[in-house]
Copies of this chain bind each other. A is one copy, B any other.
Amino acid sequence: MSTSTRTRLRPDQRRSQLVDLGVRLLATRSLDELSIDLLAEEAGISRGLLYHYFGGKQAFHEAVVRRAADDLIEQTAPPGHGDPLEQLAASMTAYVDYVVANRAGYLSLVRAAQGGNETLRAIYDDARSALTDRIFTEDAGGALVEDTPAVRLLVRGWAALAEEVVVTWVTDPAGVSRDELLAILSASLPALVEAISAPS
């Protein structure tokens, strides 16, 4: 971006732009590798200015992780048309594409969030909840999933399954094709819901 463009930005726009850059940098590296120094170098601005925008590394990481989670939620939104199974399949395809394109950052996000930092964990939990609650709000008619406590719990478990399967596969496909992966992701939810609705 040119200096003239930069100078026209308001501080909140500039900060937002820096968060975007952080998310792009996170796509190919871990959160630990995403330093203020690196961001300063890539953005072509001083460390001092970055501290002005973010206050510190922790707050910068939180902003990046929050934006990454928002991106994930947005990019995997169901298309809003088609039957529920088609929408689920489209959403799962977008999820796999997102993780493949942002592998290092996504793995780092999952790992950092599962670990000790309470704020990152909260961002991650919120994103997980948004992704799973969406299934109920966008399927308000109950065509795919009935909204009961047991099904809510099951869908939460299914989200953990999907994450584990995709993280494992993107790290080492072990002979499983992308189509097989997508079949696992799309077929698993309705199969699970059916299994607990009508136990054999």
Chain A interface (Cβ < 8 Å from any Cβ of B): 111, 114-116, 149-150, 152-154, 156-165, 168-169, 174-176, 180-181, 183-184, 187-188, 190-192, 194-196, 199-200
Which of A161, A183, A194: most chain B Cβ within 10 A? A161
Main secondary structure of the interface of A (DSSP, over half): helix
Least Cβ distance of A179 to chain B in Å? 10
| A79 vs chain B, min Cβ distance (A) | 20
Chain B min CB distance to A89 (Å): 11
Tell whether, in the assembled complex, residue A157 and residue B176 are in contact, meaning their CB atoms are under 8 Å apart. Answer: no
Q: Return 6 A-B CB contacts under 8 Å, by A number.
A: A115-B115, A154-B184, A154-B188, A157-B160, A158-B161, A187-B196
Copies of this polypeptide in the complex: 2
Verify B153–A165 contact, CB threshold 8 A: yes
A153 to B183, CA, bound (A): 12
Inter-chain contact A199/B176, CB cutoff 8 Å = no
Q: Is the CB of B199 within 8 A of A195?
A: no
B199 and A187 form a contact (CB under 8 A): yes
7 nearest A-B pairs in the assembled complex, by CB-CB distance: A115-B115, A191-B195, A160-B164, A114-B114, A157-B161, A157-B165, A149-B175
When A161-B158, A168-B153 are in contact, do A196 and B176 touch as well, CB less than 8 Å?
no
Chain B residues positioned under 8 Å from A164 (CB to CB)? 156-157, 159-161
Judge whether A188 and B192 touch: CB under 8 Å: yes
